[in-house]
Amino acid sequence: MVEWMSKTYAKDFSFQELMVAAASRELKDHEVVFVGIGIPQLGALLAQRTHAPNLTLIYESGVVGTRPERLPLSIGDPTLVSGTYGIFNFYETFSMLLQRGFIDVGFVGGAQVDKFGNINSTVIGDYEKPKVRLPGSGGGCEIAGLSKRIVIVTPHEKRRMVDKVDFVTSPGFLNGAEARERNGLSGGPSAVITTMGVLRFDEETKEMYLASYHPGLSVDQVKQNTGWDLKISPKVGETEPPTVEEVNILREDLDPQGIFLKKAVT
């Protein structure tokens, strides 16, 4: 663990920054990633600027292999085009890249996430009479259904981390256990990275559990901010903090104006 030992950890960082750093560590070099805008995107861009320089980043606008110099403000930002190696049209992006099975990781956010990793980005409340109307699936439904694995990045609040989502926009493990496979889907969520911890899924029940809590927090605090009786890994410990380098890249290079880091994901 020489590499671990040689890291210089940041002492001053926000939970948002830790969330992004923890998300970036879910990505391995040379993987093909379908990237959602906002906080998930920051995680992928941070990975590309640190341990995974050969990531292929794909945005739903059809941009393939991008290395944006400035922070893309939307999934179709022109900075994604400058220096990218390919652009697919809309249908091809979903059919030939995603449906065909080339996406290793779907990197997504969501307004509500439930204990089986299902994501709601459609409505809060009843579909016909919504309390809050959210933007809808976009690429989310198929990214979650057809990527080899999914990493979900979301702020940790009781109203977001719920027992059961109001609407399944993007399928996780559905009702748990074998439900996802019964619906003809492989893959599924591998991690949920929040502002309070890193959560993973039980291999058999497919229920989410707490794998690590962020430094400065306790297991009880995480449980209190979760909408169901959250199970805790027997090996639970503190999340690895961000390094000085990671925090510097986030603050000085990726999001100097705090456009995504200072705002909650919607």
> Which residues are known to be catalytic?
60
CB of 220 to another protein, least distance (A): 33
Residue 45 CA to residue 42 CA, distance in Å, equals 5
Q: Between 75 and 191, whose beta carbon lies closer to another protein?
A: 75
Instruction: For residue 175, state whether it binds another protein (rule: CB under 8 A).
Output: no
Residue 170 CA to residue 150 CA, distance in Å, equals 10
> Applying CB under 8 A, which part among 25-33, 95-103, 192-200, 217-225 lies near another protein?
95-103
3-class secondary-structure state, position 52: coil
Q: What is the dihedral of CA 218, 237, 203, 106, to 10 degrees?
A: 80
CB of 194 to another protein, least distance (A): 21
Instruction: For residue 77, state whether it binds another protein (rule: CB under 8 A).
Output: yes
Structure-block tokens of residue 28: 């391995």
First to last CA, the chain: 38
Q: How many CA atoms lie within 13 A of 122 on its CB side?
A: 19
CB of 87 to another protein, least distance (A): 6
Site string for another protein, 112-151 (x = CB under 8 A): ----------x----x--xxxxxxxxxxxxx--xx-----
Whether the CB-CB separation of 151 and 193 falls below 8 Å is answered with yes
Instruction: For residue 57, state whether it binds another protein (rule: CB under 8 A).
Output: no
CB of 221 to another protein, least distance (A): 28
Instruction: For residue 244, state whether it binds another protein (rule: CB under 8 A).
Output: no
